[in-house]
């Protein structure tokens, strides 16, 4: 009857092995099991052809990732979900995530930490709950907030910050925050004050990942010219020389709709109203026929009117993986980080290219020197304001300009508070001379693109 013992033994062996795989409970809260981090150890506990020249294999790097290293993920959307998953699986156990959005049903196809039942709840909270319950030992702390609502004391606590944002303004603000944390001693940057910023971005089938060492390598604002202004076509093209189906749709949206007002005087074009889109679609077809342009469809019409760039899950996955890898490389010091900008494109086949974005000597964000503004003393303040908004290297949104005249602070123009806007609006049509501004005058400009006030020096050209 010895044979009858066999199944029993087998069963107990299976139970034993299964118990080893139980992820929480039964292991005194350490949540570790045999071989759990083998995939990470292979990278940290032996040298290889791609390891950093100064790399010395050790078990300490892994302990640092698991216990000490503190990562901040900005954004819990398409990139954010991928980032949290990638970081948690790479051994990072101390992660905070900031996101101000709530979950919409349209997010569910790619933001895989969310389910139908979560619609309407904050992305940060749900993403953190999901990771924390799925990956034992990982502690994700959610912040259902705007990045602007957290202060420097908060940001200072992190070793590395990784951004998965869809807004250039938010990126620039984060960049400005990290630059403001830099400490200079006798003009020399204290490396201890640098918090590396890993930034990922995607737009349809295109994406980029970059590594920024604030104060050392090119910052977001150094390469601002790389961000095209929102898809806006030149008015002359729209009005008289359309070449693309989009130009025809823009013509109807920008010029024809306000002229014809097809649904009544006070009705603004609503991208979610099928009747509106239908009207724009028909008129765009007529316009396109006039210029022998093909390709105007209902879908494209809605896309252009609503400024939709479809989110592509695979692009997000690739870019987030690249960013998580860079976090791992920097945190472990085991590999040389990306230097410093990788572009990715999978529109047609697969293409990547890496280059070193260079620091801009007179970058308004990281150069530490007040920028010169060249204007004639007879220029109106409006012209200065337009320049701050339209200049490709500044691209401000709603700049507030103040200065000091005869030792007194004077607000020249401020848009964000209605009463002050009203009071300072007349200044816009005054000349710089009439406002009492002189050669070399310092102008302090505040804008939502940065937490810091920027200093400019006025230089008169005549
Ligand atoms: Zn810069």
User: pLDDT of the chain along its 462 residues, tens only?
Assistant: 444 455 556 555 555 554 444 444 334 445 789 999 999 999 999 999 999 999 999 999 999 999 999 999 999 999 999 999 999 999 999 999 999 999 988 899 999 999 999 999 999 999 999 999 999 999 999 999 999 999 999 999 999 999 999 888 899 999 999 999 999 998 899 999 999 999 999 999 999 999 999 999 999 999 988 776 555 677 888 888 899 899 999 999 999 999 999 999 889 898 889 999 999 999 999 999 999 999 999 989 998 898 777 789 999 999 999 999 999 999 999 999 999 999 999 988 999 999 999 999 989 899 878 889 999 999 999 999 999 988 888 989 889 999 999 888 999 999 888 899 999 999 999 999 999 999 999 999 999 999 989 999 999 997
Rounded Cα distance between 197 and 232, Å, is 29
N- to C-terminal Cα distance for the chain?
109
**pTM of the predicted model as reported, rounded to 2 decimal places:** 0.80
Distance 160 CA to ligand 1 centre (A): 18
Q: What are phi and psi of 437, to 5 degrees?
A: -85, 145
Distance 322 CA to ligand 1 centre (A): 22
Fold of 235-306: Arc Repressor Mutant, subunit A (1.10.10)
Distance 143 CA to ligand 1 centre (A): 28
Residues 383-386: contacts with CB within 8 Å, 24+ apart? 384/432, 384/443, 385/413, 385/428
Distance 360 CA to ligand 1 centre (A): 6
Residues, Cβ < 5 Å to ion ligand 1: 219, 221-222, 363, 365-366
Superfamily of domain 371-460: Ubiquitin-like 2 activating enzyme e1b. Chain:  B, domain 3 (3.10.290.20)
Residue 178: both structure tokens together: 């990290």
- Element of type H or E holding 293: none
Rounded Cα distance between 58 and 65, Å, is 13
Domain assignments of the chain as residue spans, ordered by start:
37-204+312-338, 235-306, 371-460
DSSP state of 25: S
Active-site residue, selected from the candidate residues 31, 81, 236, 248: 236
Distance 263 CA to ligand 1 centre (A): 47
Domain 37-204+312-338 is of which CATH architecture? 3-Layer(aba) Sandwich (3.40)
Rounded Cα distance between 104 and 157, Å, is 31
Residue 236 catalytic?
A: yes
Distance 401 CA to ligand 1 centre (A): 21
């Amino acid at each position: 009857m010895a044979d009858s013992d066999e199944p029993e033994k087998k069963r107990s062996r299976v139970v034993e092995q299964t118990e080893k795989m139980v992820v929480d409970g039964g292991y005194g809260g350490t949540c570790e099991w045999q071989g759990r981090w083998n995939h990470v150890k292979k990278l940290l506990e032996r040298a290889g052809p791609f390891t950093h020249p100064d790399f010395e294999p050790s078990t300490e790097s892994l302990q640092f990732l698991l216990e000490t290293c503190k990562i901040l993920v900005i954004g819990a959307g398409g990139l954010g979900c991928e980032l949290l998953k990638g970081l948690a699986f790479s051994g990072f156990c101390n992660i905070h995530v900031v996101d101000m959005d709530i979950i919409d049903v349209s997010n569910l196809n790619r933001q895989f930490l969310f389910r139908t039942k979560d619609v309407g709840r904050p992305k940060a909270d749900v993403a953190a709950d999901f990771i924390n319950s799925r990956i034992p030992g990982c502690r994700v702390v959610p912040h259902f907030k705007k990045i602007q609502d957290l202060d420097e004391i908060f940001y200072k606590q992190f070793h590395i910050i990784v951004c998965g944002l869809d807004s250039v303004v938010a990126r620039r603000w984060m960049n400005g925050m990290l630059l403001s944390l830099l400490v200079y001693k006798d003009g020399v940057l204290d490396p201890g004050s640098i918090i590396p910023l890993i930034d990922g971005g995607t737009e349809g089938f295109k994406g980029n990942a970059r590594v920024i060492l604030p104060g050392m390598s090119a910052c977001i604002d150094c390469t601002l010219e790389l961000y095209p202004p929102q898809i806006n076509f030149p008015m002359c093209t729209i009005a008289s020389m359309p070449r693309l189906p989009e130009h025809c749709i823009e013509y109807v949206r920008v010029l024809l709709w306000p002229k014809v007002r097809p649904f009544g005087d006070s009705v603004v074009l609503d991208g979610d109203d099928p009747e509106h889109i239908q009207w724009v679609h028909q008129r765009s077809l007529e316009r396109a026929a006039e210029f022998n342009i093909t390709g105007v469809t209902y879908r494209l019409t809605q896309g252009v009117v609503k400024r939709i760039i479809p989110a592509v899950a695979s692009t997000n996955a690739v870019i987030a993986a690249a960013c998580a890898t860079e976090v791992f490389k920097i945190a472990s010091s085991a590999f040389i980080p990306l230097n410093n900008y990788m572009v990715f494109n999978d529109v047609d086949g697969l293409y990547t290219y890496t280059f070193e974005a260079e620091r801009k000597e007179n970058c308004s964000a990281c150069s530490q020197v007040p920028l010169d503004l060249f204007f004639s003393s007879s220029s109106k303040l409006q012209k200065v304001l337009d320049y701050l908004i339209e200049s490709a290297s500044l691209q401000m949104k709603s700049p507030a300009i103040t200065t000091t005249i005869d030792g007194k602070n004077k607000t020249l123009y401020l848009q964000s508070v209605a009463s002050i806007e009203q009071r300072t609006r007349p200044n816009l049509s005054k000349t710089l001379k009439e406002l009492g501004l002189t050669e070399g005058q310092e102008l302090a400009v505040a804008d939502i693109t940065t937490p810091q006030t920027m200093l400019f020096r006025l230089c008169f050209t005549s």
